[in-house]
Structure 1
């Protein structure tokens, strides 16, 4: 991918807001004539923790690919960490963004050792080749794995890990680089109940830590939103149904509009729970 693939405006007087880590202005992305994202305006500031929810095909992954400096929008302006996508070297931006995603996991060789996989994040490579790592790197990797409850996996290979173990290792890799922005694509998917709750508890502690990076997380389930998340966006068919402070966005009415069926939302002890309230809703085909 070339960094000049989308020069979508000639305005030279538009500059990035230094207080925003993400600043998307009227961003759209078209593929095969279909709008995967349609006129999205979205800002993420220091200290904010965002969750993005929506049905399958809503555009969630496309949105965070732009936020993670992995995709150019077709139109609009996208600033990531103060740099405009399309006018900067994306590789340099990616070194400051921690990403945990299934797509990343699918590119990891099964023979890759967990310790090397986590350490290599600091070198912006996927897996170890001929690099020589310092002892401080190894200590940081072990400490990071310990934080996510995966230190016992340090000498295992990727191909021997369960889905839940892989999620923990990917999270450790994402935070190994001390990122300015942390992007989590369904971090608890594939976990059993105990593993999910362990990881949600850790993510909650991270969200409540004032020194932790700004975080954007995708999930399909409100039950997986950690306590401490501050903002939410609901996406449907590439359009933002609602976005803003989480208590204002996560409502029964907004969820019903987004998922096209009657949803009732409850909040218990800082966590959210949703259910369908009657049979015969209007779920989209």
Structure 2
């Protein structure tokens, strides 16, 4: 499988309004992408199509060798990990579970445990807890964790099923600087787990070393795509964010400021 994902001339309309326009985008083996754009730029729509929750109005989509329209989408979704603040809607379930139970439930793509958990599953969850430096929280109720600890636990949960693609949808939203950096450090674990990372954000400083490529969106169209050192520049980001910006690089990580 040469391509992990392929969008060919993909457009999507909702209630007569075109949300995505002729998206052509490929992800190849060993590439890890960030998606940047303003609210309403089409980031979430691309994720929904990628995971099979929206079907393109026109164009072709192939994910992990599965051509949409000719594949079992529920089975495909088992190969895709997804971490988003939208998972907070399951808080009525998660508030009653320990961090171990939250993480091991990722094996079954469920919140709540409804299937038998093997000793090997518990061992793997324990290994992830330690890898993500969450060992001091063992046995604690998930509802007592800080926001940063919860995000780290959810990323560990997503890795329980060894996904081939892991989507992090604004995982640092609402976090303080320390918690943000603790989450960003986990990209090393994700890449080391042989998952292809797709990282959605508004903030270019979250494009860490492990992210190799960037997709820029504006009003449902691609502004630019490619290796991050070619795409993350003042001209293209000004077009993407619709405000004049400057970009500087420090330790292979970009930082943005607005021109006055």
Unaligned runs of 5+ in 1: 1-17, 279-285
- Selected match of 1:166 from 150, 163, 182: 150
Query: 1:137, 1:155 → 2: CA distance?
Result: 16
Kept after mapping to 1: 8 A contact 2:148/2:183: no
Query: 2:173, 2:188 → 1: CA distance?
Result: 16
Secondary structure of 1:37's match?
Answer: strand
Residue 72 of structure 1 corresponds to 55
Kept after mapping to 1: 8 A contact 2:190/2:197: no
- Please give the TM-score of this superposition, normalised by the length of structure 2: 0.93
- Please give the TM-score of this superposition, normalised by the length of structure 1: 0.85
Kept after mapping to 1: 8 A contact 2:151/2:183: no
- Selected match of 2:71 from 72, 76, 88: 88
Query: 2:60, 2:35 → 1: CA distance?
Result: 20
Query: 1:107, 1:274 → 2: CA distance?
Result: 35
Q: Superposition pairs for residues 78-157 of structure 1, below 5 Å?
A: 78-108=61-91, 109=93, 110-129=95-114, 131-157=115-141
Residue 283 of structure 1 corresponds to none
Secondary structure of 1:72's match?
Answer: coil
Secondary structure of 1:24's match?
Answer: strand
Alpha-carbon displacement from aligned partner over 1:158-209 (angstroms, at most 9, x marks no partner):
33232212211110111111111111111222221111112212314644x4
Residue 46 of structure 1 corresponds to 29
Query: Which has a greater percent of helix?
Result: 2
1:69–1:156 Cα change, 3 Å: farther
Secondary structure of 2:211's match?
Answer: coil
RMSD between aligned residues: 1.6
1:249–1:138 Cα change, 3 Å: same
- Matching of residue 259 in structure 1 with residue 244 in structure 2: no
Unaligned runs of 5+ in 2: none
Tell me how far 1:241 sits from its aligned partner: 0.5
1:136–1:43 Cα change, 3 Å: same
Query: 2:18, 2:139 → 1: CA distance?
Result: 44
